[in-house]
Structure 1
């Protein structure tokens, strides 16, 4: 009996820690209104093509390399990554590497020391240790010489180039940006670097060179566990004909779910693409209550089977496309640090829609019959997943 009392007290203290920490974080959060920019943007959807381009640009760096990833693995891919950074340090290039403390937990110091200036983002500290353990920096940003930027869903590890047999082919969306928008990525990296290290690296022309306008109108949206919900709801309300959502985790807030249902009532066609397999326990089951409701309302829901689907994309009609680091789940909405890019260029949006159509070609349509055939074990896992959904 005593152990049960202890467990209840510990759970209560963890809940109090989380709730209080969340309240303090929300009160401190600032809403950032990104400025519309024009840059040239390239979309990558496979790790093989992305990292061929990425490593080539790192090789050409002359002054500085600034990198933020959620995950850097200690595997062949990670060792290749660190070897390249070490090479650039030896050439006199400034290298700053920031990785999330939880996402890259256990990264050996022998590797970290090769990568120039290194820091962990979002180390959990007192007070509110449990809340801060969940408050992750989920952004993936790279800036090279202040002129070339990368943003999207890929991290550094063998699974992201399709070399993990558990997942097979890894489908993701990542942007390469050249043009005036790169300065916004640089500013966000500078802010995250200062938060993690207490250090500023300067704001002169070496880090913020003069940049030309590109062809694609866009706006960056950085969030720190607040304001993303209302931004996504505004996107949904904007829709007149169709909404397409690609995400590895579909766990929307109540307000977002209501916005989707209201959109469908006014005649908007909703299409959702999610993976048929999961990379974390319970995340797949946590999406099922929402999928049931959306299917009943007339949504088209596809499960991607050609490997693992990790893309984070929202398309609203032919008007707005969102690609970035945020998943369509409560963790991205209310806890994580994220960075998204709203794109307003119609030719680029058409390119994204064509890419999504190819993803749908390697997906299977989810039906209500699937849920009617579920076993009691699946329903139990779904119930557990529903309780855990705020932290999944």
Structure 2
């Protein structure tokens, strides 16, 4: 229907029934690492992992070693690791030139002499224009869903951690659907190549197949059995999308519009798409309470302390803070009235990577989507929409939110946020130059 309500739209989505006892929320990064390693060690049939990257450091090495050990114990174990094609073949942003993680994958494969395939998925011909931001670890019939990638900081090896959300969901139908998508929509593509084998083709040589792959991904969907009755209780809808006006984007906007009492949003980078900002403003005018939990600039993964050499990428956290200040200034009346709560997360020395949406007490969105223009237009993203009409998960959701909020501070007035005049001189100089040529607006579409 042309004018169907947001809730009617959400209720019409295909979904799979879920047992409330089959969902477990992990509270810390360290717990995520422990449970992921336990699940890998216990795997009997399959391990499918999708992440932005599997890093060549102690954390990544621990995961890769566990995968090889699992394959050694179970020779017929079906394993597929998917990472972004571009990210795997370069060094860290701002670091010296490196061969990337692909060389490490090949070295480990030669030493181990076991098949643990690691695939590079090129979502675009250039990393700036789109990456594999698909999330989810499927181990047998359990889905571990998190926005985390696999390295030291995401696995809390060492002093620092990067906070994320971590859900263990036991559901065979959901797990099958996510594996089927990987097999049919990604591994079948001629643009997708093994990175653990030598002679990787250059991006230039496969440009044509990359473009074809992206075009086909625009129509790819998670498939659910159609011969089963629609669940009336707790249920999950897997969602995927890439490019402008994709189905996941539409669900996110409809989900926020469906709120009748309260919206809670987590995003690490405050750079909301216009469609999301517009619907949030509409909901505030209706009297709906909106809580947005965003990382303080010092909790941003691109933040560079004053004690370290400045790099251009270090200006990003300041750009996000400027966005937040403008939004807070425009909505100061709602902040003062308590309808809008802007909460800055900051656990000193650590970083913030949480994403997700809670609507009233009956909808949750688990996602790696950063709710920014890049996620809405460029990257391949996915999410799990949980519908909980009987509010079986309300208590656990409240516990999770309480844990997240323990490191937050509410902004009571936009003036509490710093301005350009307060920033370090090198940041100030760069942002002024970008602003003069309006490059800051262009950057917001890509970063």
- In 2, Cα distance between equivalents of 1:303 and 1:257: 18
- In 1, Cα distance between equivalents of 2:288 and 2:375: 25
Where does residue 15 of structure 2 map in the other structure?
36
Where does residue 286 of structure 1 map in the other structure?
319
Between the two proteins, the alignment pairs up a number of residues equal to 341
Task: Indicate the larger mover: 366-375 or 275-284.
Answer: 366-375
Cα displacement (A) at 1:71? 1.4
Question: Relative to 1, partners in 2 of residues 1:237 and 1:52: Cα closer, same or farther, differing over 3 Å?
Answer: same
TM-score scaled by structure 2?
A: 0.70
Residue 384 of structure 2 aligns to a residue whose secondary structure is: strand
Question: Relative to 1, partners in 2 of residues 1:120 and 1:50: Cα closer, same or farther, differing over 3 Å?
Answer: same
Q: Deviations over 1:290-319 (max 9, x none)?
A: 443244243211111113221111011112
Where does residue 95 of structure 2 map in the other structure?
none
- In 1, Cα distance between equivalents of 2:442 and 2:123: 26
Cα displacement (A) at 1:326? 0.8
Where does residue 26 of structure 1 map in the other structure?
none
Q: Deviations over 1:98-140 (max 9, x none)?
A: 111233331122135556122101165xxxx34x652111112
Question: Relative to 1, partners in 2 of residues 1:75 and 1:255: Cα closer, same or farther, differing over 3 Å?
Answer: same
Give the conservation status (yes or no) of the 8 Å contact 1:216–1:343. yes
Cα displacement (A) at 1:247? 1.1
Cα displacement (A) at 1:349? 3.8
Give the conservation status (yes or no) of the 8 Å contact 1:249–1:283. no
- The equivalent position to 1:301 in structure 2, one of 342, 358, 366, is 342
Q: Deviations over 1:313-369 (max 9, x none)?
A: 101111211112111111111111111011122232442233212322211222312
TM-score scaled by structure 1?
A: 0.79
Question: Relative to 1, partners in 2 of residues 1:376 and 1:87: Cα closer, same or farther, differing over 3 Å?
Answer: closer
Give the conservation status (yes or no) of the 8 Å contact 2:325–2:414. no
Task: Indicate the larger mover: 377-386 or 341-350.
Answer: 377-386
Give the conservation status (yes or no) of the 8 Å contact 1:321–1:349. no
- In 1, Cα distance between equivalents of 2:395 and 2:441: 36
Where does residue 365 of structure 1 map in the other structure?
410
Higher strand share: 1
Where does residue 262 of structure 1 map in the other structure?
282
- In 1, Cα distance between equivalents of 2:82 and 2:26: 22
Give the conservation status (yes or no) of the 8 Å contact 1:85–1:116. yes
Q: For structure 2, which runs of at least 5 residues remain unmatched after alignment?
A: 1-11, 90-99, 195-224, 226-230, 303-312
Q: Deviations over 1:42-84 (max 9, x none)?
A: 2224221112111111111123222221111101111111112
Where does residue 223 of structure 1 map in the other structure?
241
- In 2, Cα distance between equivalents of 1:372 and 1:266: 30
Where does residue 96 of structure 1 map in the other structure?
80
